[in-house]
Chains A and B, each alone.
Chain A
Amino acid sequence: MKSFSTPSDIELVKRAKQGDHAAFRMLVHRHEHQVRSIVIGMLGNTAESDDVAQEVFIRFYRSLGDFRGEAALSTYLSRIAINLSLNEIKRRDTRHKRLAFFHGNEMPTEEADNGVDPERHDIRDAVHKALQLLEPDFRMVIVLRLIDGYSVKETADILQLPQGTVASRLARAQEKLKDILKKWNIV
């Protein structure tokens, strides 16, 4: 009897390389929530987050030929998602600095929004907001470990950092995040 097993990522990539759009669609469907979780965690729940998440898959589509399957596809996509999110954060910072320069430093900064009233937001929004207050280096370990559920070793592989560095960043990031949420009476 013929068995209908779910094709692996590698098989789908092979078919997508041959121009099979349905196979690529299956790959996107399989990994989109994980990629969007990373991008939204890094950038906040904004309109540009979906654009960046789409850009992750467009980059992957363009470089299908380069993907040799040495790393798991989820690791590969997470790495692209982190890199594009960091680029977007840099772009935002530059835009913010330029605006601050022209408006005489009157632009509100993320830190200036520290006193967010949790009653005005639901808890989920407040946690997003708190996450955005962390520096990107801390934010990315929290996103990969706590939101996407990667182990410390997998997080270290994605970020191409030693496991010890990831573990210490994770500890400091959690302390900072807990302090912010405690200040807002959320934990």
Chain B
Amino acid sequence: MDKSALELFISSLDQELAPKDQIRLDKALAASQELHQERVEFLRMRELVADLRVQRSSEFVDELMSKLPQQKESSFWADIVLLSPKVAAACIIFVIVSLLGIYFMEGRLNSEIIIGVEQLTPEDAYSIQEQKVSKKREKEALPFEMPKKK
């Protein structure tokens, strides 16, 4: 069988042939029983494959739609991770390294150490309050009114 005629025939299944190629193919098909048989087999194969197209399924739609609201509600953090998994992973590593650093420097780990207030005493709080009050008094004791900014 003429191999180029078979190639031409296969091309003709999916694309329009140039007029001279179409004439050559028609002649080859008329002359070769083998090529004609190939044509029958190819067309049957294409028909069988086209039959694999699935039917519409309302169950599929219902099942999918029942999943969607949950997806939307629970997707805030998932979306962040999806948008930038590398940034999310870097943040997690940064937090872990920071916590380990604090632990090795301080020898223990608790919320006061993490936010840096473990050495504050009630007196510190009192002196901050006192500073605020004395500033207020100084302001009230001024003999003249401060000019307003324009």
A interface, CB within 8 angstroms of B: 21, 24-25, 28-29, 32-33, 36-37, 40-41, 50, 53-54, 57-58, 61-62, 123-124, 127-128, 131, 142, 145-149, 152, 167, 170-171, 174-175, 177-178, 181-182, 186-187
Contacts and interface: CB of A to CB of B under 8 A. Distances in A.
B interface majority secondary structure: helix
Nearest to A49: B54
Contacts of A186: 48
Interface residues of B, number: 35
Contacts of A62: 71, 75, 79, 82
B45 interface: yes
Given A32-B57, A174-B46, A178-B42, A131 B52 contact: yes
Nearest to A171: B10
B45 A33 contact: no
Nearest to B56: A33
A181 B48 contact: yes
B139 to A, nearest CB: 53
B115 interface: no
A21 B70 CA distance: 13
Contact of B57 (A36, A127, A128, A167): A36
Interface string B39-65: 001101110111111111110110111
B7 interface: yes
B60 A50 contact: yes
A37 B48 contact: no
A127 B51 contact: yes
B67 A124 contact: no
B98 interface: no
B13 A182 contact: no
Contact of B52 (A21, A40, A53, A187): A40
B60 A187 contact: no
B150 to A, nearest CB: 47
Interface in B88-123: none
A29 B68 contact: no
A145 B50 CA distance: 9
Contact of A146 (B50, B54, B57): B50
A24 B65 CA distance: 9
A177 B48 CA distance: 11
B140 interface: no
B15 interface: yes
A32 B60 contact: yes
Contacts of A36: 54, 57, 60
B10 A175 contact: yes
